[in-house]
Amino acid sequence: MKRALVTGGSGSIGAAICRDLARRGLHVIVHAHRNGARAEVIAGEIRSAGGSAETVSFDVADTGRSAQELERLLEAGPVQVLVHNAGITADAPLAGMSESQWTNVIGVSLNGFFNVAKPLLLPMMRTRWGRIVALSSVAGIMGNRGQANYAAAKSGLHGAVKSLAIEVASRGVTVNAVAPGIVASAMTKDAFSDDDINRLVPMKRAGTPEEVASVVGFLCSDKASFVSGQVISVNGAMA
C-alpha cells in the first residue's frame, strides 16, 4: 500500500484530501501542527470507514524538526505521495506589515514545501513512482489586497513546482500545484459575505473542500501520470 503525507491535514481542505486519498486505497498520514486532536479524529474516521491512516505532528517551518519526523516516517518505507497543504495567513497592507507576518507566512507555505519535499524525494524517486501536489491559491495567480506575503508564498510554490517537475520527470514522479479560489470553510465564512462571493466568483458560490480534493486525488493517481509541472485552478472562473 502506497503511503501519502498530507500536511495541514486537520483543516477543511486537508481533511477532504485525506479522505479522498484514503478512498483511493492509500495509507494516509494526517499531519497537523497545533491541532493534533483534530488530526486524530480524521484518522479515526478514515479507519472506521475501512481505510488506513495515522497522524504526525510537527511545524513544517522548522527544518530540523521536519527532517527528524520525516526520517522516522521513512523507517517504514518511502512516502510516495506528498500533498503540501499546510498554510497560514497574516493579512495586512504591505506598508503596515510586520517582518514576522511576512516571514511566518512564507515559512509555512514556501519554506515548508522545501522542508517536507526534500527528505522524501530520493526514497520516492528510487521507487520510480511518486506524486507531489502543492496547494496554492487564486491569490498566487492574481494577487489580493492585504496578502502580499500569502500571494508571494503561493506564487513561489508555482516556480518550485515547475522546476522540481523537470528535475524528477524521468523517475516517474509528477509535481503539480492546485490553486483553489474561495472555498467554503470556517475561515472563509468569516472573511467573505454572500455579497462578496456573488461579486468575486462568476459561478456565484464558494467551492467545496471535496471539489478541491477530487482534483488533488486525480493528480495523485495513475491516471495523471502525464500531468506534471502544472498549476490547476479550482476557482469558479475567478481567474
Q: What residues have CB less than 8 Å from 9, skipping those under 6 apart?
A: 15, 17, 18, 28, 29, 30, 31, 32, 39, 42, 85
Task: Give the total residue count for the chain.
Answer: 239
**DSSP three-state, residue 102:** helix
150 as an active site residue: the answer is yes
Give the whole-angstrom CA distance, residue 206 versus residue 211. 10
Sheet arrangement for strand 3-7 = 52-57, 27-32, 3-7, 81-84, 130-135, 173-180, 231-234
Instruction: Name the nearest CA neighbour of 4 among 230, 228, 219.
Output: 219
Burial per residue of 15-54, b for 16 or more beta-carbon CB atoms within 10 angstroms, e otherwise: bbbbbbbbebebbbbbbbbebbebbbebbebbeeeebebb
**Which member of 55, 150, 157, 233 is catalytic?**
150
214 close to 180: Cβ distance less than 8 angstroms? no
> In which residue are the cell numbers 510516495 written?
80
The residues annotated with a catalytic role in the active site are 150
